[in-house]
Amino acid sequence: MSNVLSEAKKQQVLALGRLGWTLRRIEQSTGVRRETAGAYLKAAGISVRPPGAWGRRGPAKPATELTTDLSEAKPANEVTTDPGGQTPQKPGLQSPSAPPSASACEPYRETIELAVSRGRNAMAIWQDMVCQYGFSSGYQTVKRFVRRLRGSQQPQAVGIILTAPGEEAQVDYGTGPMVRDGQSGKYRRTRLFVMTLGYSRKSVRLLVFHSSSRIWAELHEKAFRRLDGSPHVVVLDNLREGVLLADIYDPTLNPLYQHVLAHYGVVAMPCRVRDPDRKGKVESGVGHAQKTPLKGLRFESLEEAQAYLDHWERRWADTRIHGTTKRQVAAMFAEEKPFLLPLPIEPFRYYQYGERVVHLDGCVEVEAAYYGLPPGWIGRLVKVQWDALHVRILHPGTHQLLREHIRQIRGGYRINNEDYPNKTPPSTVHLLARAARAGSHIGQLCDAIHHEQGELGIRRILGVLSLAKKYGVGAVEDACAAALQLGVREYRFVRRYLERRPQLTLRHVDPLIRELTEYRDLINLKTKEEQ
């Protein structure tokens, strides 16, 4: 790789250096050589942590766990109590003399069997029974009962990637529940967006019907707002909404997505292709939501589904003892929250993004309105951003702002005074010569349009010439002659004349007789000028 990094890659290296990553780890994650990364970090005044320094410090003191109702959190070592006032026994330790007793789940057998048939797991069933029936026994009781109904499965070992507080979040899409669409009235499959913090495993889960580059960016922003802060790095798959070109060394991010992350001080780190273990935490968060709260359920609206998911997140997901960390998620998030980046005061101002070729009149078109550039850009490709208020024209290579204009209505023009050419551009001279070769009256009308409207009339001149392909040169020549005789210098008049002309015109009978449409158009034009 070249020693000269792109701006996005440079910012990624600097962000990881500020997090205390070693040069070796930066090289493995970004593909930037250690020597190159070290030079950039040194130039920015960022000290580099030597290899192996991670983990030398003593273990962090455990935070005070958030107190919740014992029925709401998954206990580490549960003591079960059978009905009938028997002495509590640990799971698996039963007195040989004590007769086997019926499970506390037996009165709810039909409910549990129905839930199992829908694919809901033991945790989801236990949570439902606590919320709906006030079930007093623990999770292990339900787990054993469900295991007897459908058999046990052996867990699979997975790798664990440790991250510092506030360092990293992982994001991904998953399949959401069926939700009734308010417009069609039919049930639709939703998409489940999940952002999981690497240290605490705190997750934000959001439901949408469909995705786009803007929706993907908006979901990130909503997640940052819910967390009341943003991580330093976001790890993601090579989804089209976020990554235009997958490359481990220098990926091309979607511009809108990149700008939203930059607004919050976040650096994106796409995974290697076919490397799911790199973001296993968020994939676990996606699977947890799919298997536990959402499995087998349907909702009547997206708002209802999101409210149900938010309630489950607060009561169950945040208060559980995580299987890897062996600590409560909410307590670890309380430790991690001070390390998150503070949110900016203003939210990101969203825009649409595209590419345009500069027209012969020196303008680009955005939603049927036209915006000028400095001279010398005719025929070249530029980047364009626009929102409800402004249009920004950017250099295609450096993204330097060339011009910023206020949005215009359809058909409107916006050109700065300094952007008007001092003399007729060669391209315009060639266009007028082309019109003159097409016909004498066509050339005269095009010259008149350019004389009255300047470079803004280029599009109208091209419109007149384009009519010849549809109606023939002779018909357009006749229409331009009629426009010149009536003193009308408008492309629209020529077009309407050709659209409304009869097969045999009255001019063929007597040259002094004119079509009534000509007088009507002339009257309308003069009326507008007087107004």
pLDDT at 230: 94
Sign of the C-alpha dihedral, residues 96, 97, 103, 104?
A: negative
* Contact call for residues 487 and 521 (beta carbons, < 8 A): no
* Contact call for residues 66 and 334 (beta carbons, < 8 A): yes
Question: Looking at residue 262, which CATH number applies to its domain?
Answer: 3.30.420.10
Q: Of 131 and 287, which is predicted with more confidence?
A: 131
Average pLDDT rounded to a whole number, residues 317-343: 88
Q: Which domain holds residue 204?
A: 168-322+332-339
Average pLDDT rounded to a whole number, residues 287-308: 85
Question: Looking at residue 414, which CATH number applies to its domain?
Answer: 2.40.50
Q: What is the pLDDT of residues 235-275, one digit of tens each?
A: 888 788 888 887 766 778 888 898 899 999 999 888 765 55
Token representation of residue 293: 């709260």
Same domain, 186 and 288: yes
Residue type, 240: R
Same domain, 410 and 432: no
* Contact call for residues 13 and 28 (beta carbons, < 8 A): no
pLDDT at 77 over 50: no
Among 183-197, 278-292, 421-435, which is the least confidently predicted range? 278-292
Token representation of residue 305: 């589904």
pLDDT at 151: 64
Last residue in a domain, options 419, 444, 460: 419
Last residue in a domain, options 379, 394, 419: 419
Half-sphere exposure of 198 (CA within 13 A, CB side): 23
- The pTM score is 0.54
Average pLDDT rounded to a whole number, residues 213-239: 91
Q: Label residue 410 by pLDDT band (50, 70, 90).
A: confident
Average pLDDT rounded to a whole number, residues 113-141: 82
pLDDT at 283 over 80: no
Same domain, 237 and 298: yes
At residue 382, the 3 state secondary structure works out as: strand
Same domain, 172 and 315: yes
Same domain, 515 and 378: no
Q: In this structure, is residue 61 part of a structural domain?
A: no
Q: What is the pLDDT of residues 375-386, one digit of tens each?
A: 878 888 999 989
DSSP-derived letter for residue 156 is P
Q: In this structure, is residue 99 part of a structural domain?
A: no
CA 213/CA 257 separation, integer angstroms: 7
Q: Label residue 450 by pLDDT band (50, 70, 90).
A: confident
Same domain, 122 and 243: no
pLDDT at 421: 66
pLDDT at 221 over 90: yes
Q: In this structure, is residue 62 part of a structural domain?
A: no
Q: In this structure, is residue 395 part of a structural domain?
A: yes
Q: Rounded to whole angstroms, what are the CA distances from 420 to 408, 453, 455? A: 18, 12, 8
- Helix orientation angle between 473-486 and 426-438, rounded to the nearest 10 degrees: 100
> Distance between alpha carbon 135 and the CA centroid of its chain, in Å?
42
Token representation of residue 182: 């308010």
Per-chain mean pLDDT for the chain: 78
pLDDT at 91 over 70: no
Q: How many domains does the chain have?
A: 5
Among 17-26, 361-370, 399-408, 451-460, which is the least confidently predicted range? 451-460
Q: How many C-beta atoms surround the C-beta of residue 306 within 10 A?
A: 18
**Ramachandran category for residue 470: left, alpha or beta (phi over 0 → left; psi -120 to 50 → alpha):** alpha
* Residue whose C-alpha is closest to residue 377's, from 353, 356, 407: 356
pLDDT at 55: 42
Same domain, 414 and 441: no
Q: Rounded to whole angstroms, what are the CA distances from 345 to 78, 257, 342? A: 46, 19, 9
User: What is the DSSP annotation of 120-137?
Assistant: --HHHHHHHHHHHH---S
Same domain, 480 and 499: yes
pLDDT at 98 over 50: no
Instruction: Name the maximum alpha-carbon separation found in the chain.
Output: 123
Q: What is the pLDDT of residues 306-325, one digit of tens each?
A: 999 999 889 888 888 877 77
Q: In this structure, is residue 100 part of a structural domain?
A: no
Q: In this structure, is residue 16 part of a structural domain?
A: yes
Long-range own/partner contacts, residues 318-327 (CB < 8 A, 24 or more apart) = 318/202, 319/66, 319/68, 319/72, 319/73, 320/73, 320/74, 321/73, 321/74, 321/75, 321/76, 322/201, 324/160, 324/201, 325/201, 326/76, 327/62, 327/65
Q: In this structure, is residue 432 part of a structural domain?
A: yes
Q: In this structure, is residue 91 part of a structural domain?
A: no
Same domain, 125 and 204: no
CA 226/CA 82 separation, integer angstroms: 41
Last residue in a domain, options 122, 150, 178: 150
Among 32-46, 133-147, 170-184, 421-435, which is the least confidently predicted range? 421-435
pLDDT at 215 over 50: yes
pLDDT at 305: 92
Q: What is the pLDDT of residues 49-69, one digit of tens each?
A: 665 544 444 444 444 444 444
Same domain, 412 and 430: no
CA 363/CA 129 separation, integer angstroms: 65
Sheet holding 369-372, edge to edge: 363-366, 369-372, 413-414
Average pLDDT rounded to a whole number, residues 77-89: 40
Q: Label residue 341 by pLDDT band (50, 70, 90).
A: very high
Same domain, 431 and 403: no
Q: Label residue 518 by pLDDT band (50, 70, 90).
A: low
Same domain, 437 and 386: no
pLDDT at 505: 47
For residue 461, which phi and psi values (nearest 5 degrees)?
-65, -45
